[in-house]
Structure 1
Amino acid sequence: MKLIESILADAPTIQTLRRDIHAHPELCFQEERTSDLIAKALTDWGIPVHRGFGKTGVVGIVKNGTSDRAVGLRADIDALPMTEHNHFEHASKHAGKMHACGHDGHTAMLLSAAKHLATHRNFDGTVYLVFQPAEEGGGGAREMIKDGLFEKFPMEAMFGAHNWPGMKAGQFALASGPVFASSNEFKIVLKGKGSHGAMPHLGLDPVPAACQMVQAFQTIITRNKRPIDAGVISVTMIHAGEATNVVPDSVTMEGTVRTFTLPVLDMIEQRMKEVAEGIAATFGMTVDFEFHRNYPPTINHETETAFVREALTEVVGAENVLHFEPTMGAEDFSYFLQEKPGCYFLIGNGDGSHREGGHGMGPCMLHNPSYDFNDELIPLGGSMWVRLAEAWLAKPQQQA
């Protein structure tokens, strides 16, 4: 493993910053303190800072030489609306808010790289350090783009990484093509006619109609979608009724749809609407159908993925650069990849044995109240970002 000496030396300082951020989590578009901390650190290292992209986003600029080439590196900075179960010193000080996905660690790794890049500047061109808010459901990447991120900071490509519990520290994983799914939500209100539970013939019972609807949705996956295409329909909430002896007026169903491609998503949305309306009509009822598209699929570009694989191999060796099996989870880095070539990859966070005394009893998995980022990754992640940026700016530029 080829770690950069100056980054290793600065690791304790960056760890302190990481734990400070962990102790003071902020939710999407509320990351004022976090943005202030990031901006101050960058400024102290002589890095020009631009703020306000995506409301609370921060962009640092490290430039050297005369080349007009540029590359973007991204870290997300927001926390989750959940209560931490850990009791160590840097546990969340705000009930109902927690860095349970490691965005504090992502920020720390990029800050570690930022300090080295600013101090040594062993490249010709510009490195844009993109600290993005509101990944957890707020679409912060989309909002930064709307605010002119790529017009203000023209870059050839954008790269991002996420820690991955269960994969060994010191390992990476990546793949070209779809790696994270689109995330979409639906809400269906099936409207019948309430009645006494002893006299259901006097009403229109929406409950059995809703049950048939849930079952029918699964035939979209098994009979309308090609078997080789990925897609998931999950009805995760069903609400109906207030008393045991009353047939309810309506049933509300909510859930998610996830796909790796937009054509499959288009088909599923259309068929769900047709099925919902058809079953409602069959039972003599009406239905309100809402479908909200959240994050698009995260699709890595083939050339940039091959580049990242080569760069990571130089840092940790080919045996520690694994193939990433795509997940149906979602990630708003997808918006960046719709606009720019790039790659989103994983860095192993270990099995949780890094956690100190005072951690909760649960596993150290993402979105778990006992999670904590593995600080051993800070020098590795910092070295990774530096080597990736230097390698990108050193390689011949592709012609359009």
Structure 2
Amino acid sequence: MNELEFVTKHRRHLHQHPELSLHEFETTTYIAKFLDEYGIEYERPLETGLIAYLPGNGTHTIAFRADIDALPIFEENEVPYKSKTDNVMHACGHDGHTTALMLFVKRCKAMADQGTLPQNVVFIFQPAEETGGGANRLIRAGAFDKYPIESVFGVHVNPFENEGKVVIRDEEITASATEYRFYLHGLSSHVADKEQGHSCGEALQHVLTQVGQIQQYHLNGLKRNIVHMGHFEAGEAINTVPSHGYLEGTIRTYDEKDLEIVKNQMNKISESVALLFNVECRVEFAEGYPPTYNDPSLRKHVVRGLESSDLEIIDKPTPFLFGEDFSFYQRMAPSYFVFVGTRDEEKGFVTGLHTATLNFNEHMLIRIADYYEQILSTYDEVHG
């Protein structure tokens, strides 16, 4: 089996059998079976996901990460390897990330068997990137405590750039992602006696208006921030004053100070509801993903690895505004994350991430493995 056959086989199997965050049981079993076939030791610090390790000849320990979970999306691609699970799809390319890392594992094992693996390598098959913060869960579980990891590298497919192009950026490359939720509780009454109630409908209108003005009036207009209202509702019946209200949304920013401004303003909005409408209101923030920070000290490894793999580098002037839980690895070691172009207009592989028609050519996964291998093989040389 050549490498194109290898990546095609594994990627399409994973694509047909997607699993949601923290439920990647079959996916984990599939990867474990692959590792067993090659005699590679691995650990399962969490219920899903795997950490594998191969000792090399050098003194450096480098980690490479792939995410393994899928999304609750019904696939619309009419392909032989279409998802077999209704309303679950690898719509973010994690099947590709996983397969590329599997190919890299295979190459590293061949080098280890020949006594030529240049450095120690940790392979991270991480669960729950989409939701659940799998990277943070692994770190908190002590999954990497026994490995003296110096650096962590990862990739993401990018359908907005053509094949052969890779987007990089030092420092922040993706935004923080923080969820917020407003809970309102008032007093119901019949519409005929509406003045006796405390309307969450009226209060929610106030919250929506004020949240919608945060970006315009409280954040620097030259910075890219998103304060998004994703879902809201109020009321119970057509002829009663609403006694309950709810709003949820997400905040995206790459400046921690901006995030604090948004959260502080939301707290003030929550406090104002009781004063204005006699309605109880609280706002809660779910722990989000911090901005993904690419350590500038690793740029030389990335540039050398991409150029040696005949991949064109595109320096992005501003970060992407979506979240990515690769960001947690920077708490463990310097890290660097890049976006590998997979756009192919002739084949119609042009739709974005998290869409029902995302697709790409498997041969690009070989290029990702090439990039990983170049980082590994030149790490000592570039590091020095």
TM-score norm. by structure 2 comes to 0.92
8 Å contact from structure 1 (residues 18, 104) kept in 2? yes
8 Å contact from structure 1 (residues 57, 144) kept in 2? no
Match of 1:252 in 2: 246
Match of 2:260 in 1: 266
SS at match of 1:316: coil
Unaligned runs of 5+ in 2: none
288-297 vs 334-343, greater mean Cα deviation: 288-297
8 Å contact from structure 2 (residues 204, 234) kept in 1? no
Match of 1:88 in 2: 79
Name the CA distance, whole Å, in 1 between partners of 2:212 and 2:379.
Answer: 45
Name the CA distance, whole Å, in 2 between partners of 1:355 and 1:33.
Answer: 30
1:74–1:339 Cα change, 3 Å: same
For 2:376, which of 389, 392, 395 is the aligned residue?
389
Match of 1:53 in 2: 45
Name the CA distance, whole Å, in 2 between partners of 1:289 and 1:370.
Answer: 36
SS at match of 1:233: strand
For 1:366, which of 353, 359, 372 is the aligned residue?
353
8 Å contact from structure 1 (residues 351, 364) kept in 2? no
Shift of 1:61: 2.1
8 Å contact from structure 1 (residues 239, 253) kept in 2? yes
Give 2:86's aligned amino acid: A
Match of 1:17 in 2: 10
* Deviation readout 1:377-396 (Å, 9 max, x if unpaired): 12211111111221224333
Name the CA distance, whole Å, in 1 between partners of 2:362 and 2:157.
Answer: 11
8 Å contact from structure 2 (residues 118, 376) kept in 1? no
Give 2:268's aligned amino acid: E
* Deviation readout 1:338-380 (Å, 9 max, x if unpaired): 2210111100111464469xxxxxx632111222242121221
Give 2:36's aligned amino acid: T
Name the CA distance, whole Å, in 2 between partners of 1:52 and 1:176.
Answer: 32
Match of 2:97 in 1: 106
Match of 2:337 in 1: 344
Matches within 5 A, 1:224-243: 224-243=218-237
Shift of 1:179: 1.4
Match of 1:359 in 2: none
8 Å contact from structure 2 (residues 305, 372) kept in 1? no
Shift of 1:58: 1.5
1:37 aligns with 2:30: yes
Shift of 1:200: 3.3
SS at match of 1:167: strand
8 Å contact from structure 2 (residues 300, 382) kept in 1? no
Unaligned runs of 5+ in 1: 1-7, 357-362
1:275–1:171 Cα change, 3 Å: same
SS at match of 2:55: strand
8 Å contact from structure 2 (residues 63, 123) kept in 1? yes
* Deviation readout 1:88-130 (Å, 9 max, x if unpaired): 2211112122111111110111111221222135443212111
1:133–1:393 Cα change, 3 Å: farther
1:299–1:396 Cα change, 3 Å: closer
Name the CA distance, whole Å, in 1 between partners of 2:199 and 2:25.
Answer: 50
Shift of 1:85: 2.0
For 2:313, which of 312, 316, 321 is the aligned residue?
321
- Percent identity over the alignment? 29
Match of 1:200 in 2: 194
8 Å contact from structure 2 (residues 170, 294) kept in 1? yes
Name the CA distance, whole Å, in 1 between partners of 2:302 and 2:290.
Answer: 22
SS at match of 1:307: helix
Shift of 1:72: 0.6
8 Å contact from structure 1 (residues 54, 132) kept in 2? no
Name the CA distance, whole Å, in 1 between partners of 2:279 and 2:23.
Answer: 43
Match of 2:54 in 1: 62
